[in-house]
Amino acid sequence: MTDAVVRFENLVKIFAEGSKREVRAVDDFSLSVARGDLVTLLGPSGCGKTTSLRILAGFETATAGNVYIDGHRVNDLPPQNRSTSMVFQSYGLFPHMTVFENVAYGLRVKHVPRSEIRVQVRDVLALVGLVGLESRSVAKLSGGQQQRVALCRAIITKPHVLLFDEPLSNLDAKLRKGTREQIRQLQQELEITSVYVTHDQAEAMSISDWVAVMHDGKLQQLGSAEEIYSQPANRFVADFIGEANLLAARVARSEATGIAISLHGREIALDRFGDVFSANQEVDVVVRPEAMDLVEPSDGDLSATVRFSHYTGSIVTYTMQLPDDEEISVQVPNPTETGVLQTGQLVGLRLHRRSLHVLERKG
C-alpha cells in the first residue's frame, strides 16, 4: 500500500522484558491507514491499543517491528519531530495557560508570526464554537469545552496524523454522543488521517471508516463496522462486538451454492459458506439475540424455556434454556405490543437466516 499514511509492520512491544513482570503488550501487529481515513483500534483494556497508539506518537519505543508515517520509518524519531498530534484521554491541557495560549502553543513552537497565530486560533476555535473564551483559564471550562480545546490544540498545527486516546471517556453519556459527531465531522471536513483508540464499541462503530479489533496485543479483525458485526472473524470478535450466542453445530452438507448445518437435531440451510466449510465439520453458529423471532414451540428452529426476563422498556431480553441446558439470550423489541413471557414458558425460536454467521470451531 503506497498511499498508507500510517503503517504498523509486525509491531511488538514487551514491557519489563526479561523480568518476572514481563508483559507482551503488542504482539506482531500490522495495520495500514489510508489517507483521510479514520481507523479505530478497539479492544478491552490491556489489548495493546493504547500502547500501539503511543508508539505511533513516539511516547513509547517498539521492541521490534516498524512504524511508518508518510512512508518514512519513524521508530527512532522523538515525538516532537513526528507529524502527529494527540488528543489525550485526560486532555493534557496546560493548566497554567489560557484557552488561547493552549491552542497557540504548537504554532509558537513553530515560530509562526504573532498576527498569523491570532487568526488561526480564532478560525479553529470557531470550528468548535469556542470563540470568546480565548482568555479563559482552561481550568475554568466544563469537561466538554476542555475536550474541544484539546481538539483545537491538536488540529491547529495541521498534523499528518491525528491521534485520539479515548478522548470521550471522561465525558458524560449525553455529551459523548454530540462530541463524537463533532469529531467525525471535523475529521472528514479537514480530511485528517486519524487513529482513534477506544474500548467503547458503539463509539468505534459510529465514528470510524475502519475498525481494527484487538485482543492480547494481536489484530483480530479489520473491517467496516458492519463487517465486524455481521461477519466476525472469530469467537472473540463475535463476543466482544455486541452480544452473541455461540451455538455448537455440525455441517451436514456442503455444496457450491451453500451449506446445511445441523443444529439441535434440525437442519438449517444457508445460501453461502459453500467454499468455506466441508461436510461434517464442527462449527459454531453466531446467533445475535435480536436475530430471531418467537414462534410456537413446534414451528421454531429451536425450542427453549424462558428462565429469566429483563425488561428495559424498549426491549425485553430473555435468558432461555435450550434442551441440552445451553443458555441463549433473546431480544424482543417493543414488548409493550407483544407482552412479556412468563418464566418457565416453552417457546420456539426461528433464526433469521441472513443474520446467521458460522465460525470454524477450534480446539
Partner 1 sequence: MKMDVYRRQVRGELRRLRRDPVLLGIVAVIFALLGIFILFPLVKVLQLSLWADGSFQPKYFLEFFQKVYYWRPLVNSLIVGALVAVCGTTVAFIFAYGISRTDIRFKGVFRLIAMMPIVSPPFLIALSAILLLGNHGMITEALNLDWDIYGLPGLVLTETLAYFPIAFMILEGVLSKIDPSIEEAALDMGASKLRTFLTVTLPLAVPGIASASLLVFIRSLEDFGNPVVIQGRFRVLTVAAYHAVTGRYNLPLGSTLAIFMLLPTLMIFVVQRYYISRRSYVTVTGKPSGIGLKSTEKAVKIPIFIAMSLLSAIILLVYGVVLVGSFTTLWGYDHSFTLANYAYVFKVGGQYVWDTLRIALVATPVGGLLSILIAYLVVRKRFIGRGAMEFVSMLNFAVPGVVVGIAYILAFNTPPFQLTGTVFIIMLVFIFRRMPVGIRDGIAQLQQIDPAIEEASSSLGAGFFRTFTRVTLPLVAPAFLSGMVYMFVRCMTAISAVIFVVSAGVQLLTVALLYEVDQANLAAAAAYGYVIIAIVLTAIVLMRFVVGKLFKGGLTPMGGE
Report the interface residues with partner 1, using CB under 8 A: 17-18, 57-59, 61, 63, 76-81, 84-86, 88-96, 105-106, 109-110, 138-139, 146, 150, 153-154, 157, 163, 169-170
Quote the least distance from Cβ 125 to partner 1, whole Å. 16
Phi, psi of 144 (to 5 degrees): -65, -40
Quote the least distance from Cβ 187 to partner 1, whole Å. 17
Distance CA 203, CA 190 (A): 20
Contact 150, 106 (CB under 8 A): no
Quote the least distance from Cβ 251 to partner 1, whole Å. 44
Quote the least distance from Cβ 141 to partner 1, whole Å. 10
Compare residues 139 and 346 and give the one whose CB is closer to partner 1: 139
Helices (H), 217-349: 225-230, 235-240, 335-338
Phi, psi of 276 (to 5 degrees): -100, -45
Compare residues 143 and 333 and give the one whose CB is closer to partner 1: 143
Compare residues 19 and 314 and give the one whose CB is closer to partner 1: 19
Compare residues 153 and 215 and give the one whose CB is closer to partner 1: 153
Quote the least distance from Cβ 108 to partner 1, whole Å. 9
Contact 6, 161 (CB under 8 A): yes
DSSP states along 107-145:
HHHTT--HHHHHHHHHHHHHHTT-TT-TTSBGGGS-HHH
Quote the least distance from Cβ 144 to partner 1, whole Å. 14
Quote the least distance from Cβ 79 to partner 1, whole Å. 4
Phi, psi of 341 (to 5 degrees): -70, 155
Contact 86, 165 (CB under 8 A): yes
Compare residues 18 and 313 and give the one whose CB is closer to partner 1: 18
Compare residues 80 and 312 and give the one whose CB is closer to partner 1: 80
Rg, Å, the chain Cα set: 25
Q: Tell me the C-alpha to C-alpha distance, in Å, between residue 130 and each of 89, 146, 172, 214, 306.
A: 20, 10, 19, 35, 53
Quote the least distance from Cβ 33 to partner 1, whole Å. 18
Compare residues 84 and 201 and give the one whose CB is closer to partner 1: 84
Contact 250, 261 (CB under 8 A): yes
Closest of 204, 164, 159 to residue 52, by C-alpha: 164
Compare residues 193 and 220 and give the one whose CB is closer to partner 1: 193
Q: Helices (H) and strands (E) in the chain — how many of each? A: 9, 20
Element (H, E) at 103: helix 99-109
Closest of 69, 59, 120, 121 to residue 92, by C-alpha: 59
Quote the least distance from Cβ 186 to partner 1, whole Å. 18
**Residue 247 exposed, middle or buried by CB count within 10 Å (0-12, 13-18, 19+):** buried
Compare residues 109 and 126 and give the one whose CB is closer to partner 1: 109
